[in-house]
Amino acid sequence: MKRTAILILLFIGYLQTGAQQNLVPNPSFEDTVFCPIGLSLLTGCVSWRQYTDATSDYLHSCSYYAAGVPNNWIGYQYAASGNAYCGVIANVNTWAEYIAAELSQKMIVNRKYKVEMSVNLGNQSGYATNNLGVYFYDSNASYVFTSNILPYIPQISYAKYGVINDTLNWVRLVDTLVADSAYDNIVIGPFNVDGNSFTTDTLGGGSWAYYYIDSVVVSLIDTFVVAVQDSILCAGDTLSVDFVAEKPLGVSNIFRLQLSDKYGGFNSPINIDSLASDSCNGMLSGVIPLSISPGSGYRIRVTSTVLPDTSLDNGFDISIGNLDSANIIVTSTSSPLCEYDTLHLSASSSVTAILYNWMGPNGFNANVGDTTILNVDIAYTGTYYSTVNVYGCTVRDTFDVVVKQSPDSPNVTNNTPLCEGDTLRLYTATGTNGVTFSWAGPGGFSSSSDTIILLNTVDTISGIYTATVSKNGCSTSDTTNVIVKTRPFVTLSNNNPLCTGDTLKLNSTAFSTGVTYSWSGPMSFSSNTQNATRVNATPNMSGWYKMLVNLNGCEYTDSTQAFIYTIPIISSIGGNNPICIGDTLKLTTGNYSGATYSWTGPNNFSSSQRNPTRANISLADAGAYRLTIAANGCVSPQDSVNVSVNPQPFVVILANKDSICAGGSVTFTALPNNVGGTPTYQWFVNAQYVAGGSTVFTTSTLNHNDVIRCDMTEYTKCANNFTDPSNDVQIAVLPWLAPSVSITSNPSGPVKEGIYIDFTATTVNAGKKPQYQWKRNGTDVIGAQSNIWSANNLNDNDSISVEIVSNYLCPLPTTAVSNGIKVHILTSVGDIEGAESLVLYPNPNNGKFILSGKLPNGRYDVLISNSIGQKVFSGVTEVQGNVLQTEMQLNVAVCMYILQLRDEAGHRAIIRFEVK
């Protein structure tokens, strides 16, 4: 007869934190599409599917058949969580079963995830294996047409747990990975451990190794999280943030509250509070800096110094305003105003994310920064209120406005139209007494009389005249249009100077309709049009041309003088052609008395000299150089000379190597350009002549950083022999060096199981990027190929070393092996008789677990302490019938804990477990 002792513990004062989101849908297989009435019905489980032709099973307590829970076709087992689980056959290469599901969201590349599940071997299994694993993918097919074991290498292999043969208790398998892709699908089942095979133990009885699978979890590992309530703040406000850590971090830990830039980046975070604490949770409060730039994309995070570690940010944008940097300006039209004026209200800021509001008399309300009220009256007298919001900051201002009554508008008249020289009279009248008058008109006219008289008018006084009447600072106006007709007037001109053969154009300014024109000039010329012409002009047509105009009986006379000249001729043109780059071009032409010269040419060349020169000629200066000459405004036909420019010869040298080992040979080759004939060559080392005559120079006597140059002399392209020194080539001559490597570990002393040890390799004379291969007990660690390697799964007395391959150019030898470091791993030991049968499950757990095993009958003390030695529980349990079965529930923080069981004789057993 078994007797079970149930002990439920509540421990007040410890904070349990929420775990990271499980990416696995329906992780305990509770949700069903339909109840399975037989085997091979995984389609009845929500979100899960078969991955291959081998038929995995869905087992649920709703079924009373072979697919039931706890009783089913191969054993008897309650679910690890809820009332369902799945089953797969794992030991046959030609029949391997898998279950698959799509993750609720993609994994984040380079982030660390914990992958865990509970497994149990079916009671009637005849075999047990070590080949369970998890394969993630993001682009493979969702179904593979095979019943064989898959050839994939899983990202998670639970082979480290050895052959799993426990048919009584669920075994919690836990491992981690750093996502190297945005995986979105999970496949669970058997995989070859080393890519080719796996270990199988024969138990006797059945034909398979059949495993139940339950409580699958894939979660992002984050040491601690933060909680922020505010989303709109102002500079100078206090921001409070709650944080919850996974476990106490030690007395030397300092939490820091950090604010991002306004785009959410933490490249240069602002520390606004800090707290020295080893607590698992707490609050940080910081003041938003007064110098902060306004923005709507701020984020908050918390860092710790002990790990060190950084939380995820708060997950949403925070808008922060700053009145000092917002540059807010609020103005209004100066008061008092008069009736019919425009009231202008303005509020502005250099920040775009801003809200405005104006309120005032007569029901005025506007939600813009800049607004106007047209034609105001006395009802708009009163106080106007301005409100400006910049994110969490508010600025308010007020303006008092007074609107006064204006006088009646005046009635304005005049005696126009008039002709130039007549007298203009302006009249005004108004129905308001006690007003003052003012006039404004064309040409700056002004007056303060009610009636205006102007003598000897001219057409320029025509236009709009405005009369304004004023009283008590307010004014009204009216206008009248004055018309004074213009007497005829023209201005004559012509297109001289002209040249023989040109067309003489006689022009007069346009006046108006009704005007008559009459031209007269040399050689009996006459015309009755406004503008006249004389084609094929000759020098004897030069002289005065007169015009008589008439409008409304008024006449006006004017004259213009015309000049016609002979066209000059270019007598000769030439230049010193051809030339080389860098030479001076000399252009020549014959003399023409009284002429000006205009040269143009390639590359924006121009000159007004008769015989110009162009120094330091270039290839862009080659081409046609054109010349025109001008005398008395007459320009000759264009003439030109073509100039050819040869590029300067030059030489470039190349080396077949830029670095050699001591005693090595290097060859230099000269590449001539823009040459003709046979150039000559001279070779120099460090500016000292060493060889000549050839385009190739080979040497094995160079020293480190020697500089090689070649001078080439060309004899055909330029007026004189041209020597060009080549580019310099510097050669690195490296010594032969033997590489070496040494390693260190951190921590360097004994460590507890599961603690990461960081091993760092330091090389000497191995080049900038040597190759690394870390070794564990002389065997290569797959994938450990950088200068730093970390592990938390080492065994006591494991020996760690590293072998390097130098990438230095001149290594001797090419490889080196480091010193070895032997690690010491501390393990738990129990000395109670039968302690080896003790099991605590599930582990990890949420504070609720079962402690079971086979122990001698008697009374046992139970003591539980956290990772820093603080006692969180003590109690007593009784064992009768040699069976311990105790259920416990702790209300404790997420942390590592140690359970110590001690009998009456002082013997003890120790079990570690983790609360998540």
Give percent above pLDDT 90 in the chain. 48
Q: Tell me which amino acid residue 913 is.
A: F
- Among 335-344, 457-466, 871-880, which is the least confidently predicted range? 335-344
Task: Please tell me the predicted confidence (pLDDT) of residue 596.
Answer: 93
Q: Same structural domain for residues 612 and 591? A: yes
**893 in a domain, yes or no?**
yes
Token pair recorded at residue 220: 């992002």
pLDDT exceeds 70 at position 915: yes
pLDDT at res. 83? 96
pLDDT digits (tens, 9 = 90+) for 609-661: 999 999 999 889 999 999 999 998 899 999 999 988 888 899 999 999 888 99
**How many Cα atoms occupy the beta-carbon half-sphere of 510 within 13 Å?**
2
Identify the burial level of 1 via C-beta atoms within 10 angstroms of its C-beta, where 0-12 means exposed, 13-18 middle and 19 or more buried.
Answer: exposed
Write out the DSSP string of 56-104. -EEEETT--STT-SSEETTEE---SSTTEEEEEE-SBTTB---EEEE-S
d(CA 127, CA 92): 10
**Do strands 579-580 and 645-646 pair parallel, antiparallel, or not at all (unpaired)?**
parallel
Task: Outline where DSSP puts E strands in 97-141.
Answer: 99-102, 112-121, 127-129, 132-137
The DSSP annotation for 654-713 comes to EES-SEEETT--EEEEEEEES--S--EEEEEETTEEEEES-SEEEES---TTEEEEEEEE
For residue 245, give Cα distances in angstroms to 279, 311, 847, 871.
Answer: 8, 9, 17, 20
CA distance 881 to 858: 10
Instruction: Tell me the pLDDT tens digit for each residue of 445-495.
Output: 999 888 899 999 888 999 999 999 988 888 888 999 998 888 888 899 999
CA-derived radius of gyration, the chain: 51
pTM: 0.34
User: Cα(915)–Cα(895) distance, rounded to whole angstroms?
Assistant: 6
As a three-state string, the secondary structure of 897-911 is: EEEEEECCCCCEEEE
Residues contacting residue 405 through CB under 8 Å, at least 6 positions apart: 338, 339, 378, 472, 474
What's 595's domain CATH number? 2.60.40.10
Highest mean pLDDT among 189-198, 338-347, 411-420, 809-818: 809-818
The encoded tokens of residue 578 equal: 């051809």
Whether residues 588 and 693 fall in one domain: no
> Residue 31 falls within a domain, yes or no?
no
Looking at the 3D structure of the chain, how many domains does it have? 9
Is the backbone peptide bond immediately before 725 cis, with ω within 30 degrees of 0? no
Neighbours of 43 (CB within 10 A): 13
Give the pLDDT band (50/70/90) at residue 341: confident
* Tokens 């058949």 found at: 65
Q: Residue 854 in 3-state DSSP?
A: coil
What is the distance between the alpha carbons of residues 149 and 130, in angstroms, rounded to a whole number? 14
pLDDT of residue 594: 87
Domain extent, residue 425, equals 411-485
pLDDT reading at 145 higher than 60: yes
Find the range with the poorest average confidence among 196-205, 575-584, 666-675, 684-693: 196-205
Has residue 368 been placed in a domain? yes
Residues 278 and 133 in one domain: no
Domain end, chosen from 646, 672, 700, is at 646
- CA pair distance 80, 69, nearest whole angstrom: 11
CB contact at 8 A, 402 and 333: no
Per-residue confidence at 225, pLDDT binned at 50, 70, 90? low
Is 60 in contact with 32 (CB distance < 8 Å)? yes
Query: Do 65 and 154 reside in the same domain of the chain?
Result: yes
Average pLDDT over residues 513-534: 91
Task: Give dist(CA 452, CA 463) in Å, integer.
Answer: 15
Point out the domain boundary residue: 459, 485, 511.
485
Cβ pair 570, 627 in contact under 8 A: yes
Same domain, 75 and 61: yes
Beta carbons within 8 Å of 31's beta carbon, 6+ residues apart = 45, 46, 47
d(CA 6, CA 606): 109
202 lies in the same domain as 294: no
Does a structural domain hold residue 654?
Answer: no
- pLDDT score, position 326: 64
Least confident span in 159-168, 242-251, 266-275, 833-842: 242-251
Is 18 a member of any domain? no
Structure tokens of 478?
């009216």
Instruction: Output the CA angle 136-140-143, nearest 5 degrees.
Output: 95
Tokens of 621: 């200066």
Angle of CA points 714, 717, 722, to nearest 5°: 40
At 907, phi and psi to the nearest 5? -70, 155
**Residue 279 DSSP class:** -
Verify that 276 and 233 share a domain, yes or no: yes
- What one-character DSSP code corresponds to residue 288? P
Mean pLDDT of the chain: 87
Query: Are 451 and 498 members of one domain?
Result: no
Cα 229–Cα 233–Cα 235 angle in degrees, nearest 5: 140
Q: Report residue 353 as tokens.
A: 């994310």
Say how far apart CA 897 and CA 866 lie, in whole Å.
4
Q: Token pair for residue 407? A: 């006088």
When pLDDT is averaged across residues 45-60 and rounded to a whole number, the result is 96
- What is the pLDDT, as a whole number, of residue 761? 94
Q: What is the DSSP string of 146-205?
A: --SPP----SEE-GGG-----SSS-EEEEEEEE-SS---EEEEEE--SSSS---EEE-SS
Cβ(298)–Cβ(317) below 8 Å: yes
Q: Residue 359: is its pLDDT beyond 50?
A: yes
- The last residue of a domain, from among 771, 802, 826: 826
Please tell me whether residues 78 and 185 are part of one structural domain: yes
Q: pLDDT by residue (tens digit) across 782-822?
A: 989 999 998 888 888 899 999 999 998 899 899 999 999 99
Q: Are residues 63 and 128 in the same domain?
A: yes
Give the per-residue pLDDT at 11: 24
In a domain, 8, yes or no: no
Cβ neighbours around 501 below 10 Å, total: 12
Confidence of residue 552 (pLDDT cuts 50, 70, 90): confident
For residue range 679-692, list pLDDT tens digits in order: 999 999 999 998 88
Clarify whether residues 109 and 127 are in a common domain. Answer: yes
Q: Which residues pair with 452 in a beta bridge?
A: 426
Do 784 and 805 lie in one domain? The reply is yes
Question: What tokens appear for 696 in the block?
Answer: 């190739």
DSSP reduced 3-state for 489: coil
Does 745 reside within a domain? yes
**Residue 476 placed within a domain:** yes
